[in-house]
Every structure is written in C-alpha cells, then in structure tokens.
Chains A and B, each alone.
Chain A
C-alpha cells in the first residue's frame, strides 16, 4: 500500500515559514545585537500578577492555576492572593536590592483592585505589561474577534487608568493566542507581545494592522514549569538558571547579544522557603560582568528591530 500522493503535494512547500507573520531567518547567522555597555546577556525578569475570579468561566479554557475545588474555593483563591499580598513584594525586593528594573505582567483587574501594587511598580521605575483582564480572560480561536478585541481594549484601559501609562507590551494568559491576536495587538498600537516561544531574541512580526515585536518569554525557564510542573527544588531551579546564563554568555562571545527570560509567579517563587535561594540567584546574576537586567521595552528598543 502506497502513500496517497496528496500527502506529498503542498502548495507552500518552500524554504521559510508557512505563514506571513515574519520571514525565516537563521538564529546563528543574524547580525549580532549589541546591548548597552557591551553587555552580553539581557536578563528579562517578568513577574505575573494574576487575579483569579472565584468562579472560573472556562471559556475559552480554564487558566493554569485556576480554582479546583467546589465553590467557593477559598483554598486556591487565597493561595493565589498570597502572591499579590506577600510574594510579589519579596520578589520586587530581590530585584530592587541589585538595582534591577523589571517587567510586571499585570491583569487589568489587579490594577483596578490593588492600586497600591501599581503605584509601587511605577514608583520603582519598572514596566507594566498588559496581561489580559483577569484569569478568566483567556484567548484562543474559539473566541469571536469582537470579544477578543474587547478583552485587549479593556485590559489596556484598566491598566492605563491605574498607572497613568499605556502599556507597550502584552502577555496572553498561558501564552495562548487566536489566529487574530498578533493583528489585534498591533491594531491596539502595542509595541510587543510575549506569547511566542519560537526564538531566543526579539522578532518583528508583520500583520495587516502593522508591525509588532515578539519577545520570547520561554516557559521552560519559568518557575511554574521547573518548580510546579517538573517539581524540582528551588536550588535546582537556581542551578538551571546559572547554567542557562553561562551558556548564553558563552554564545554571545561569537554571536552577539543574547537574552534570558525569567518568568516568575509570586505565589510560587515568593514562598518563604524559596526566597533565600532566589535572592542569592539574583545576586549572582547581578555580579556577572556580562549581565544586563532590563525591561521588555528596553530590550525591544535596544535590539533595533
């Protein structure tokens, strides 16, 4: 029995991508990027600030970390709130101790409900990335385009209202997009999004509504993936981040500036028994001569794409 010939005919078979969002390019053959002061690795911390409504909407899907027991799930609701009340400030302290400016991916509802958090982020010179409305504000292609446009607009308005600044970056919940998302984000005049993890450097997308940069916020290097999903210790997490840094710093010697994302969740990393190891990791990173702690906007600007 032979393969049906239709399997072998594909109208777009050619070198390059099977979509029009960006042109293919070889990661190791691009012109080298230069970070400020000749630094080799841009370290991009992103802390997610999430508010989980106690009633999950489940449409289009239930966000990771959402409620699990019968209503009212005080257990998970309050364990998540621990992140916004306590854990976030421990993480912020860890970065501020070394003078790092970071990005904070913030639900619109967090900005609306907890204005003090927004005030402290802005006062510290950190950047707010729009992170949907709340943890029911998930996106995939089952969501009608008008509804998705509304989720984006409402998120941006809530954050701008609280911070006085219009966010330049966007992170979808669980990094999940519809086919329309890059175009709708460009339409909303956002400069960059953090949903695609296809690369290790910023990549410009072209959409019918204009250009937008994707900043790869690799979930494999996140506390959620390493500690919650893979159930590894914070000591192991710290070693993995140091290994990643060393590798990228080495690669930067021959290929130009590299970028290391650190995606953090306050209710995961911000627990008392993890924080001392995390503090030490941030301190170690700050001591590396090639390290440049930066916000998403700074990296997009500096990468010159």
Chain B
C-alpha cells in the first residue's frame, strides 16, 4: 500500500491527467460501452472537469457516470465516480474553447449539436504502480462549495459580487421569490435560491410559537400550495432546519410525517440546491427575469 496522503494522491492524479487528459467515460448502470473522451481540466477546479461533445453522444443525457484513466507512463490508474450534467454557463463554454475544439463542430461555437458536459466528482480510487507493487487507496475528492448562506443573513454591499468572484453559483440570502432568479454581479454568474425565513423551524417555534404538529401542518400547507402553483411553472420549497430544534424527540416525529407526505405525493422533486440551480440554468440559460 502506498504511504502517500490522500492529498498527495489527489495531486498525483490531477497532474497525470493534466499531462494526458484522455479518459474512458460511461454512464453508470447503462448497458452500453464506455468511450474515449478528452477531459477539459481547470487547475482551480478540484471536483469537476468538462467534456466538449455532441448532443448525439451516448452520454449526453447525463446522470451518474464513471471515468477510467490510465496515465501515459502506465504509472497511475484511476476510476472516478461522479455525475454528468449539461454545462449551461456560456462563460465556461467560452473559457476552454479553442481552435482544436472548434474543428469538431461544423458551425463552430454556434453549432446546434454542441454540448458541453460537466463531470462532478464524487469519489475516486487511484492505483499507483510502484516497482511492481500495486497500491490501492480510496480517495474522496471533496466538493467545491457552490452556494452561500450568510451567517445571521447579513451582508456588506460587496458580498454578492465577492461570492460570485470566488466561483459560487448561488446565494440563499434573498427572499423575494418562490423560484430561482438571476442576480446581477460584477463577474461570474449568480442565481438566487429561495431559502425561507417564514417556514424556518426557528421561525415556526420561536417567532410564531407553533407546536410541533402546527409546524408540520404549516409545512404541508406550504407544500400543497407551491405544488399546485408549480404545475404551471416549477416552484421551490426550502425547509430550513436547525438540528437542535427539529431534532428534539417531541418534534421529529411530526416532521418525519411531513417528509413522508411530500415524498409520497409524486409532484415533488426532492433535490439539493446545486441540482436545482443546474436545472434552472439549463432551462433559462440564466437569463430569465
């Protein structure tokens, strides 16, 4: 076994991939072959890379996927699990665009078949050959933080510009809507994700003095209304929780019933904020008002 730290192994993997960014890519659980792809890496991105491809690619639909990598000198091997998503940010598509990439598309950058896929890494296993000894280590790549919730929900006038500059894609600190909405920032692109003060457990228990069952009833009403309105255009229901409040024995039972109700209903897509932002951007190209 290697005595390298996970950070050293991660660095070794990125270095080897940068030197020879050819990988095999296949969707997980699909009975189809993997195919060779050219990975677009960014030295500042430690949990994602991209592929320029076409809409008829067998991986175009995205979802859970696996990437296999063999270093040029056959001294490092990696199997990386993650999720493929269409990259909807034109700035990213432009960022890595080159003459070599352009040669693949008849109509260049505007070619309708152009598809850029982002691969978000979940975890990787990396093998190294070291004097005929094969070392195997499990490595977690860690996530890049994409969203921001301000402590005490306070800001300076610079905050939103700064978090966008640092590559974050969404803020949870604006409460003006029940749908995601674009936020104008100096650089980068930012989406407002509707967090909620009003159905926050803190508000329920300490502002409105609700009992646990009243709070559960409030969440179900919130859900029912937003689900009905969402039939026309998708809405977002955020349930902000504090484990020291909702996790108490007299509160957690009614809350679990709420989750069962929502999960069984069929109209809810229970998702992480980043996935909601991705879905929103893919449909609106981030330009919707």
Q: Which residues of A contact B (CB under 8 A)?
A: 69-75, 78-79, 81-82, 85-86, 231, 233, 271-277
Q: Interface code B224-265, partner A: CB below 8 Å = 1, 0 otherwise?
A: 111001000000010000000000000000000000000000
Cross-chain pairs A/B with CB under 8 angstroms, 8 sampled: A78-B173, A79-B198, A85-B177, A86-B176, A231-B208, A271-B198, A272-B226, A276-B225
Which residue of chain A has the shortest Cβ distance to B197 in the bound complex?
A79
Question: Known contacts A276-B221, A276-B224; is A74 also within 8 Å of B177 by CB?
Answer: no
Q: Does B155 contact A (CB under 8 A)?
A: yes
Assembled-state Cα–Cα distance A71/B158 (Å): 11
Q: Is the interface of B mostly helix, strand, loop or mixed?
A: loop
- What distance in Å separates the Cβ of B77 from its nearest Cβ neighbour in chain A? 48
Q: Tell whether, in the assembled complex, residue A86 and residue B225 are in contact, meaning their CB atoms are under 8 Å apart.
A: no
Q: Does B152 contact A (CB under 8 A)?
A: yes
Q: Which residues of B contact A (CB under 8 A)?
A: 152-157, 173-178, 197-199, 207-210, 214, 218-219, 221-222, 224-226, 229, 237
Question: Known contacts A75-B173, A233-B214; is A69 also within 8 Å of B222 by CB?
Answer: no
Q: Tell whether, in the assembled complex, residue A82 and residue B177 are in contact, meaning their CB atoms are under 8 Å apart.
A: yes
Q: Tell whether, in the assembled complex, residue A231 and residue B178 are in contact, meaning their CB atoms are under 8 Å apart.
A: no
Assembled-state Cα–Cα distance A57/B154 (Å): 20
- What distance in Å separates the Cβ of A22 from its nearest Cβ neighbour in chain B? 40
Q: Tell whether, in the assembled complex, residue A272 and residue B225 are in contact, meaning their CB atoms are under 8 Å apart.
A: yes
Q: Tell whether, in the assembled complex, residue A86 and residue B197 are in contact, meaning their CB atoms are under 8 Å apart.
A: no
Q: Which of B175, B199, B225, B237 contacts A78 (CB 8 A)?
A: B175
The interface residues of chain B lying within 8 Å CB-to-CB of A81 are 176
Q: Which of B155, B207, B226 contacts A231 (CB 8 A)?
A: B207
User: Shortest 3 CB-CB distances between A and B: which pairs?
Assistant: A272-B225, A273-B222, A273-B221
Q: Tell whether, in the assembled complex, residue B222 and residue A86 are in contact, meaning their CB atoms are under 8 Å apart.
A: no
The interface residues of chain B lying within 8 Å CB-to-CB of A78 are 173-176
A-B contact sample (5 more), CB < 8 A, given A79-B176, A79-B197, A272-B178: A72-B156, A78-B176, A85-B176, A271-B222, A273-B219
Most B-side CB within 10 Å, residue of A74, A81, A86: A74
Which residue of chain B has the shortest Cβ distance to A274 in the bound complex?
B221
Most A-side CB within 10 Å, residue of B177, B214, B219, B221: B221
Q: Which of A69, A233, A274, A276 contacts B153 (CB 8 A)?
A: A69
Assembled-state Cα–Cα distance A272/B196 (Å): 11
Assembled-state Cα–Cα distance A82/B156 (Å): 21
The interface residues of chain B lying within 8 Å CB-to-CB of A275 are 225
- What distance in Å separates the Cβ of A49 from its nearest Cβ neighbour in chain B? 14
Most B-side CB within 10 Å, residue of A75, A85, A277: A75
- What distance in Å separates the Cβ of A113 from its nearest Cβ neighbour in chain B? 13
- What distance in Å separates the Cβ of A204 from its nearest Cβ neighbour in chain B? 41
Which residue of chain A has the shortest Cβ distance to B194 in the bound complex?
A82
